[in-house]
Structure 1
Amino acid sequence: MQWEAHASALAERVTHATSRWRPHVAALPRHLFVPRWWSRTADGWALRDGPADASRWLEAAYSDTSLVTSVGPLHADHAKSEERPYGLPTSSATLPSLVVRMFQHARLGDNDVLCDVGTGSGYGAALAARRLGGHRVTSVDVDPYLTTAARERLEAVGLRPALATMDAAAQLPGVYDRIVATVAVRPIPASWLAALKPGGRLVTTIAGTSLLVTAEKDGDGGATGRVEWDRAGFMHTRTGPDYPPRPTELLGRARDLEGEEVRTGRYPVVDVAEAWDLASMLDITAPGIEHHYEARDGRRLALMAHADGSWARATAHGTEPPTVHQSGPQRLWDALDDIRDHWLAQGELPVRGAKVFVKPDGTTYLARGHWVAKL
């Protein structure tokens, strides 16, 4: 298969001309790391088999997109063509530009020892191993199949970083200059700080948000850093083959329930999941909310649900003030409106660009001006 021109074109799209990552992206056969993947369709996820359609395989593998490789506990490598799983993605080959950006945020030096948290397809570990040498890279993942498959595919391209199957929040198998996670955490695991050398740097994202955090280890064993102006979103860490159940049933029922409170909202109905800063601020202050949004014939509908039984529904035509129904221990739409109040009064939300303080036990604080939040 003639993949080299595709990899070279990908490298030109995701790196600048003088980037030290460009030759490594251009030299890696990404298609070998993703022979099969899932595409979202109206009736669930549909399996794509690369070797069965070489042109589509090359197009997908060398596009700057994430390719979902597992849905729930079902990896594409093990699936039958007729299967249509539902649920959340649990593993993917991250879009190459984001992999490169995460490594750039780490400020990798030529002699740095790296822990890559979230092996996934193995493509990120491959880039790091080409850049630093396999003996300087350790990659960990909770899924034994992912580490096994990644090891085989890495060896097929002549790369041999260390691979370990383990919970990302457990004690890491070494001490590192840099830790880069392509899975999201909340809070930052104490084990990462213990495995980071003094002055070492970690790069991760906060689960439930698009907040990308960089921090350097302090002399007291904690870490200090910031929320970067950049954005990134990754799957949450997990301890098993799938995530715990979500309040999807309540989210569906919220469409018709009357609720304990009905009022007129202050602001138009918004698709929270697509408003990244708004969604990040909401998840910091009221974590764990599930969202649904639809717009049809000028009518907007937003649903919110939480595992504690709280729910909200907001409906309106266009940008008119919505009718809001709410119930449960939390008033979810009120929490959203409070954030939008703050945004209008202050001109921006404090999460983006906030300072980050991580205690040695992993307790994590965000702070900007007078605003402080504990994760």
Structure 2
Amino acid sequence: MRWQEHAATLADRAAHRTSPWAVHIADLPRHEFVPRWWKRDPEGWTLQDGPAEPDAWLNEAYRDASLVTSVAGRHADRAAPGDRPQGAPTSSATLPSLLVRMYELARIDDSDSVLDVGTGSGYGTALLARRLAPDQVTGVDVDPYLVEAARGRLARLGLAPTVLDTDATGRLPVEDSSADRLVATVSVRPVPASWLRALCTGGRLVTTLAGTSLIVTAEKDDDGGATGRVEWDRAGFMRARHGAHYPDDVRALLDKAAEHDGDEVTRGPYPVVDVANAWDLDSMLSLTTPGIQHEFHQEGELRTALMAHADGSWARASALGADRPTVHQGGPRRLWDALEECRAYWLTHGELPVRGARAFIRPDGTTLLARGKWHVKLT
């Protein structure tokens, strides 16, 4: 299969030609790491079989895009052609340009040892093992099948980094203070204490905060904590999970939000917004009121936003175009009011304070973000 031209094109798109990562993207057969994947359609997820359609396989594998490889714990590699899983993605092959950006933020040098959290398909681990010596790279993933598959793919390319299955939010299977760099392609909240223990003093971590698009970089301090910042870049990764799939979501509560009148009906001051796709607003809300799930629908001019939380709180806001919405809310908290507080801060100050904030991480992982007079504590 003539994949080299596709890989060269991907390298041009995913990294600057002077980047130390570009040559390795051009030299790595990404299609070998994603032989099958899931593609979303209106009725759920459809299996895509690369070897059965080689041209489509190359076109998809060498786009600078993420490919979902597991849905609700159902691996595409193990699926039958007619399978149509429902639920949230639980693993994917990350778009290469985002991998490169995470590695650049980690400031990886040729002599560094790197802990790769969220091995997934193994493609990112392979890039690291090509750039560095294989014994400088340790990959971990919570899913035993993904680890087994990644090991096989890496071995076929003559690469032998250490790849282990473990819950990365617990104790890591590496010596304390042994890693120079830790790069996570899963999101967490808070930063696990084990990540700080794994880093040497002065070692650098790069991760994203769960429920947000915020990238945090930090360097380990002498006291075992870390100090850093929220980067101006954006990234979205799946939450670190503790098993084959995520716990049940609040689907039933979202359905309730779509129909019930609630305990309180008001008029909102601002137009209905698609929160999940308003990245800065979503991130700010997730810091102040974590755990909300969102849905947004538009039929003609009618815009409707739904919010729900596992504590039983929910909200629905509907309006035509940019009109003030009618807001229905129920449960112990007023979720739409929390959103509007964030929007009011934005209008008052001209921006939200989350990006560019300083990050102070205690040895136990408790994190404080602060910018100017604004601060939030993450536990």
Using structure 1 for the length normalisation, give the TM-score. 0.99
The equivalent position to 2:261 in structure 1, one of 253, 258, 261, is 258
Superposition pairs of residues 1-375 of structure 1, within 5 angstroms: 1-174=1-174, 175-375=178-378
* % same residue: 63
Deviation per CA, 1:223-244: give whole Å up to 9, x if none: 0000000000000011110101
Deviation per CA, 1:3-51: give whole Å up to 9, x if none: 0000001001111121111100000000000000000011110000000
In structure 1, the residue corresponding to 2:212 is in which secondary structure?
coil
How far apart in 2 are the matches of 1:36 and 1:297?
36
Farther-moved stretch of structure 1 (191-200 vs 163-172): 163-172
How far apart in 1 are the matches of 2:170 and 2:139?
14
Aligned-residue offset at 1:173: 2.3
How far apart in 1 are the matches of 2:127 and 2:182?
15
How far apart in 1 are the matches of 2:243 and 2:62?
30
In structure 1, the residue corresponding to 2:273 is in which secondary structure?
coil
In structure 2, the residue corresponding to 1:329 is in which secondary structure?
coil
Aligned-residue offset at 1:158: 1.1
Deviation per CA, 1:277-319: give whole Å up to 9, x if none: 0000000000111111011111110110111110001010110
Equivalent AA in structure 2 for residue 132 of structure 1 = L
Supply the RMSD in Å over aligned alpha carbons. 0.6
How far apart in 2 are the matches of 1:73 and 1:337?
35
Runs of 4+ in 1 over 2 A off after TM superposition: none
Unpaired runs of 5+ residues, structure 1, are none
Equivalent AA in structure 2 for residue 181 of structure 1 = A
Equivalent AA in structure 2 for residue 212 of structure 1 = I
How far apart in 1 are the matches of 2:182 and 2:320?
47
How far apart in 1 are the matches of 2:47 and 2:17?
35
In structure 2, the residue corresponding to 1:52 is in which secondary structure?
coil
In structure 2, the residue corresponding to 1:241 is in which secondary structure?
coil
How far apart in 2 are the matches of 1:195 and 1:153?
26
In structure 2, the residue corresponding to 1:45 is in which secondary structure?
strand
In structure 2, the residue corresponding to 1:362 is in which secondary structure?
coil
Equivalent AA in structure 2 for residue 235 of structure 1 = M
How far apart in 2 are the matches of 1:164 and 1:297?
50
Aligned-residue offset at 1:365: 1.0
How far apart in 1 are the matches of 2:261 and 2:172?
49
How far apart in 1 are the matches of 2:285 and 2:182?
27
How far apart in 2 are the matches of 1:324 and 1:341?
17
In structure 2, the residue corresponding to 1:55 is in which secondary structure?
helix
Equivalent AA in structure 2 for residue 367 of structure 1 = A
Aligned-residue offset at 1:108: 0.3
How far apart in 2 are the matches of 1:147 and 1:297?
46
Aligned-residue offset at 1:110: 0.7
Equivalent AA in structure 2 for residue 37 of structure 1 = W
Equivalent AA in structure 2 for residue 151 of structure 1 = R
How far apart in 1 are the matches of 2:195 and 2:243?
20
In structure 1, the residue corresponding to 2:51 is in which secondary structure?
helix
How far apart in 1 are the matches of 2:316 and 2:347?
23
Equivalent AA in structure 2 for residue 352 of structure 1 = R
How far apart in 2 are the matches of 1:16 and 1:258?
53
Aligned-residue offset at 1:169: 1.1
